[in-house]
Amino acid sequence: MHNCIVAAVAFLVALPAWTTADESGFVSIFDGKTLNGWTLVGGAGRGYIIEGPNLVCPADGGGNLFTEKEYANFIFRFEFRMQPDSNNGVGIRAPLTGRTSQEGMEIQIIDADGPRYGKQRLRPEQLHGSLYDLIPARTGFLRKTGEWNEEEITANGRHITVKLNGVIILDASLDIVKEPAVLAKHPGLARPSGHLGFLGHGTRVEFRNLRIKELP
């Protein structure tokens, strides 16, 4: 009996965070076979490709891959896997034109410890999970490159939350940004809705299990 209990506990510990998360109301936004429902803007090289069930930004591709649908308030869950020096981002409430991190908002996806970025002194608001160029996230919760990570981004009115591998790394109100020069540079902070997308920079990042729940 004792061995059975130990085995059961070990199994539960090994389960990914999503296994016990409430998935009611979530819908898939990537069918694992096509890019139906998505549009590529400013694509480079191969853009984005599909490998098995995964959506991939290859090293010889990139650009901004946006949902055709616009979202206002939502919870977005996905998994991603990076390689050394991977650099991407999640655009939220974004228009299809302009620089997403300014005209919309960008949640950073980056390996800041690789050969390239590890030699640079990135600002806190450029690190993974940060609201790019604006609000820094907590660090130290990314898994090793080559391993899958689970992330959840919630945009609810003026409140943005990012959860990485079960840990909240960003929990902030957009209203804390008050500097006139910063607000002028980032008009996207005022946008109530827009497209959701991935912002590739010619480095390999894989994505899977993309699903979203719209909030009132």
Q: Is 8 helix (H, G, I), strand (E, B) or coil?
A: helix
Domains and CATH numbers, the chain: 22-214 (2.60.120.560)
What is the C-alpha separation between 197 and 23, in angstroms, rounded? Answer: 21
Could you tell me how far CA 111 lies from the centroid of its own chain? 13
Q: What's the pLDDT at 8?
A: 39
pTM: 0.90
The H or E element that residue 148 is part of is strand 148-156
Q: What's the pLDDT at 20?
A: 63
Structure tokens belonging to residue 140: 């130290």
Looking at residue 21, the DSSP 8-state letter turns out to be: S
**pLDDT tens figures, 169-202:** 999 999 999 999 999 999 999 999 999 999 999 9
**pLDDT tens figures, 95-107:** 999 999 999 999 9
Q: What's the pLDDT at 105?
A: 98
| 117 or 195: which leads in pLDDT | 195
**pLDDT tens figures, 118-133:** 888 899 999 999 999 9
List all residues 6 or more positions away from 2 whose beta carbon is below 8 Å from its beta carbon. none
The H or E element that residue 49 is part of is strand 49-51
Mean pLDDT of the chain: 92
What is the C-alpha separation between 76 and 148, in angstroms, rounded? Answer: 16
